[in-house]
A and B are shown apart, each in its own frame.
Chain A
Amino acid sequence: MDQDKKSLWKLFASTFYLSAFTFGGGYVIVPLMKKRFVDKLGWIEEEEMLNLIAIAQSSPGPIAVNTSILLGYKVFGVAGSIMSVLGTVLPPLIILTAISYFYQSFKDNRVVRAVLMGMQAGVAAVIMDVIISMVGNVIKSRKLFSILMMGGALIAALVFDINVVLIILVCGLIGAIAVLYGDRKGKGAKKQ
């Protein structure tokens, strides 16, 4: 991990690169950001990254934009937040502006469609790779509370299709109650 090479330029270049090549919306780019900034660059801890994603998810606006603002702010303060949001927004801004001149032919182009169809499988593999690692980390932590929360939230989202914001609210509330309850029971009770 090359933590010493932290720079505003590298932050901008990283977010720009991820944003330019990540098809499929917020839930694809956020795991990729995690992989780059946590695993590769080592600028931020996995736990803190997950905290930031939770905040990004609870705020209005696209999750990719929100996560990049928080990430930039964490690493370089206000200047970092501006650089990373620019890096995230510029690629779609440039691409969509360019495409809006000839979008009819782009939309109906056979080659473009075939490339995108092929890419879907790659996108799915990339996101699965990150998910396997993240879910693995939660299970390896051997904290029953975290494993149960993860399982519960997964069932709520996948099986019952419950609104994301509601899931976030309930999980935060349960987390707070668990801490207060743990306090009341004293030190002899569960220790997280």
Chain B
Amino acid sequence: MIYIKLLISFFQIGLFSIGGGYAALPLIEEQVVELNGWLTANEFTDLITISQMTPGPIAINAASFVGNQIAGPLGAIISTLGCILPSYIIVMILAYFYFKYKNIKIIQGVLGGLRPAVVALIASAGFSILVTALWGETGISAKLSDIDPVAVILFAISLFILRKFKVNQIMVMLGTGVAGAAVYLMMGR
């Protein structure tokens, strides 16, 4: 049955994608394109593009998209469920041990080492996002002309407003979306 197939495939994707973000991509491609032929290679590229344009983790996006294409809304729900089930089980087991043993000295040591690392990993990801926003997909370069001036102005104003006035972050994101779209469309891009 197709529902069971979807469930098993996305369960595997959820189980084996460690490291987050695009680490899951090759796994999704293997299950969805190569093993089951649910999407063509072109459709898979479209899926990645759409994932970048919509909110949500790419694995969940893939599960919902493929599930619906293959077996309708119920297929989307079952695929998504399959995708989060392994995370849920493993994370709950870890949570149990974490809350039980977090006050043990050696665990405190491990967590003390992990906390600054987590800040660093978020900072590193944030830096990549900033580079993509200002320079585009090609990445950082020394040439001043490669920088998107519209993005620089939007970024600077947004950051200033966020630091100074503690405004709602989602409003800032939506605001730059609207303002940016107006400018880009007027510039004919």
B119 within 8 Å of A (CB atoms): yes
Given contacts A61-B59, A134-B122, A135-B123, contact A54 B115 (CB under 8 A): yes
> Within the assembled complex, what's the spacing in Å between the Cα atoms of A81 and B85?
12
Contacts of A56 in B (CB 8 A): 91
User: Separation in Å of the B166 CB from the closest CB of chain A?
Assistant: 9
> Are the C-beta atoms of B55 and A95 separated by less than 8 Å?
yes
B92 contact set on A, CB distance < 8 A: 69, 73, 78, 81
Total CB contacts across the A-B interface at under 8 A: 367
A111 within 8 A of B: yes
Q: Kindly state whether residue B17 has any CB partner on chain A within 8 Å.
A: yes
Pick the contact of B180 from A31, A47, A118, A154 — CB < 8 Å? Answer: A118
Interfacial residues of chain B within 155-189, with CB under 8 A of chain A in the complex: 155, 158-159, 162-163, 169-170, 172-181, 183-185, 189
Interface flags, B1-40, vs A, CB<8A=1, else 0: 0000000000000111111110010000000000000000
Main secondary structure of the interface of B (DSSP, over half): helix
A7 at the interface (CB under 8 A from B): no
B142 at the interface (CB under 8 A from A): no
Contact between chains at A178 and B113 (CB < 8 Å):
yes
Q: What distance in Å separates the Cβ of B49 from its nearest Cβ neighbour in chain A?
A: 6
Contacting residues of chain B (91-128) with chain A, CB-CB under 8 angstroms: 91-92, 94-95, 98-99, 102, 105-106, 108-127
Interface, chain B (partner A; CB < 8 A):
14-21, 24, 46, 49-50, 52-61, 64-65, 67-69, 73, 76-77, 80, 83-84, 86-88, 90-92, 94-95, 98-99, 102, 105-106, 108-127, 129-130, 132-134, 150-152, 154-155, 158-159, 162-163, 169-170, 172-181, 183-185, 189
